[in-house]
Amino acid sequence: MIRRILWLGLFILVLVSVYYLLREFGILAIVTDADRLKNWISGLGYAGPISIIALMAIAIVVNPIPSAPIALTAGAIYGHTWGTVYVVIGAASGALGAFWISRYLGYELLQRYVGKRVQLGWLGSQNALMGMVFVSRLIPFLSFDLVSYGAGLTPLKTWRFGIATLAGLVPASFLLAHFGGELTSSSLNQVMAILLIFGVLFLIPIVFRGFAKNRSISDASPRE
């Protein structure tokens, strides 16, 4: 257990170091500026797609780095199809990386110190967790990074996490790539609004089903 704690401390140190280096070398300033990022990626030639994938993965693992400008840039340079492909590969890789890191470093620690004192009820089922991960990919104000790390602390199976992430990533990435040609704040706002509508529409039946399930359980429980 002490070994896990040491690895967790080392991982946090690496994250802080990566963020510091990206800021010191000016890469963070480029990533947060869509116009500069577009010019930089365009000048990389064949290495451009690899850079998009790597930046997306890093942006998911290193929480403070924004991923939306990278996705918009991918769409602006490589178009709808390939822009979406590169964004999905990078984001899915980063999400799985964050999930595995959290699962390896934090899940056993959480179970040891919290154990069964946290009762998730219907939210603890594989289907419910999978649905929440999927919906979270469509709701803009929910951190993609934190959801990935948080999912690793739950009993959710890796393959279910991967499917839910891909299912939510594809439409979100396509919208970002579609509006990427404009590379303006208004285009990003349009994407966020559309994703928010989709996310709410998918969230309503999940919440309704949860309430219905809880009600049926309470009705079936014996009464004194």
Flag whether pLDDT at 216 surpasses 70: no
Residue 105 contacts residue 8 (beta carbons within 8 Å): yes
User: CA 89 to CA 190: how far, in whole Å?
Assistant: 23
3-state secondary structure of 52: helix
Name the pLDDT band for 117 (thresholds 50, 70, 90).
very low
Mean pLDDT, rounded, for 63-90:
86
The alpha carbon of 160 is separated from its chain's Cα centroid by a whole number of angstroms, namely 14
SS3 124: helix
CB 140 within 8 A of CB 42: no
- Among residues 79, 100, 67, which one has the least CA distance to residue 169? 67
| Range 31-35 average pLDDT | 79
Is the pLDDT at 170 greater than 60? The verdict is yes
Q: What is the pLDDT of residues 48-69, one digit of tens each?
A: 999 999 999 988 888 777 787 8
Q: To which residue do tokens 């998730």 refer?
A: 120
**Tokens 């929480």 sit on residue:** 63
In the predicted model, what is the mean pLDDT of the chain?
Answer: 76
pTM of the complete model: 0.74
